[in-house]
Amino acid sequence: MAGTRNAGDRGRRLSSYVVRILSIQSSVAYGYVGNSAATFPLQRLGHEVWPVVTVHFSNHTGYGQWRGTVLDPAVVADVIEGINDRGVLGSADAVLTGYQGSPGVAEVVLSTVRRVRALNPAAVYCCDPVLGDVGRGFFVAPGIPELMRDEVVPTADICTPNAFELAFLAGGAARTAEDGDPFETMAQVLEAADRLRARGPRTVLVTSVEHADLGPDEIAMIAVDDTGAFEVRTPRLPLSVNGAGDVTAALFLAHLTTDGIEAALARTASSVFAILETTHRLGAREIRLIDAQEQIAAPACEFPVTRLR
């Protein structure tokens, strides 16, 4: 059962530090979201990525206009079947997913996770539940939040919601764009993370956390698993970009699999801050993955990780 899995322990039993990741996400030709954001950082860390795309657009939808196509779920499933035809599906160490725009794609994801686990019981599933954010509300189709909460997330070993998504996935009421930050204290964040962990994923990374103990220019990530709860704080930067969450989930999965939760939190926070700081310094609309690649490969870990319990 998903609720008995410990992703950190299972990850450390892998036979090598090269992790093979089946990543089922969107793709864009220009810019960085979904697989277009996750693949290069994972490869820069020396891991093998099998990107399976669910949509292929000219650019991300944040521009308001885009061209391209949403792949039929049967096509996505067929690509995965082709990987299985090569006899390598069972060698995947992890499945990574992000935005799941339809029930059909969600079913392909669930079926694939079941197949990979049957072939390789040590494999982990990392679900980035892309649903919405503070100030925006839900930006997925009606019914998708409930589908993710009730069917997809409970099967995951690792879940990487932002604070808005955590509040809903942990059993809270659906929030709107007009609602403020969902948590006032760190204790409330930890309580929600524990409720989410009780639903399935043993490791939870909460991003974009704000609470009363933070300084006005700080933002936090909090990671929780069976070994404890940990927080890292970074400076808040005055920018809003797409794709940072996709990079965060990918990096956390990679570092968690090879290094454990504290190091994963420190390295992920350091690399993501470097990417965002570079993006802000250059005044770019798209996250600057290539410019910040050295900080992805060798994060400075300049932000201390604090054990919360």
| H runs (alpha helix) in the chain | 7-12, 35-44, 73-85, 103-119, 144-147, 163-169, 186-198, 244-259, 261-282, 293-297
Query: Tell me, what CATH number does 73's domain have?
Result: 3.40.1190.20
The average confidence (pLDDT) of the chain is 92
| pLDDT the model gives residue 137 | 86
Q: For 185-217, how does the pLDDT look when each residue is reduced to its tens digit (9 = 90+)?
A: 999 999 999 999 999 999 999 999 998 888 889
| C-alpha to C-alpha distance for 196 and 171, rounded to whole angstroms | 8
What is the per-residue pLDDT for 7? Answer: 46
Among 55, 130, 54, 60, residue whose Cα is nearest residue 286: 60
What is the length of the chain? 309
pLDDT for 72 = 96
Q: For the chain, what is the domain count?
A: 1
Residue of 195, 140, 162, 179 lying closest to 272 (CA atoms) = 162
8 in Cβ contact with 94 (< 8 Å): no
- Please identify every stretch of the chain with a pLDDT value under 70, giving residue numbers as ranges: 1-16
For residue 224, give its domain range. 2-307
What pLDDT was estimated at residue 2? 35
Phi/psi for 28 (5° steps) reads -130, 150
What's the confidence (pLDDT) of residue 172? 75
